[in-house]
Amino acid sequence: MTKEAKKKNQKQVGVSLVFKQRFKKQQLVIGSKQILDCSLQKLFHKNTQYLTLTFRSDQGIEKIEFGITGTQKDGQDMAKAINMMMWWQPVE
């Protein structure tokens, strides 16, 4: 089943990302927006891993770049976790 496929008894799970320290308590809430991709960039600085999140909004397709503190493995795990949340889930 592809990411675009949706059956009648399924819905897409929303994702809510909250950044508190770097962004001075600003929140990024994607909610019911359709996440298209999350990837780890090859660029990193010391122990900060940079990710790119692509999602569909009312204005079209948008990209947000953000960094997380941790190892490259932490960055890969974060991207993988967000990508896994994109798939259509059965309605409970």
Give the burial class of 39: count Cβ atoms within 10 A of its Cβ; 0-12 exposed, 13-18 middle, 19 or more buried: middle
Using the 8-state DSSP alphabet, how is residue 14 labeled?
A: P
What are 16-33's pLDDT values in tens digits?
A: 555 544 544 444 556 556
Residue 86 has pLDDT above 70, yes or no: no
Residue 13 has pLDDT above 70, yes or no: no
Whole-number average pLDDT of the chain = 68
**% pLDDT > 70, the chain:** 53
Q: Which tokens is 53 given?
A: 């999140």
Full-model pTM = 0.56
At residue 82, φ and ψ (nearest 5 deg) are: -65, -40
Q: Which tokens is 21 given?
A: 């320290």
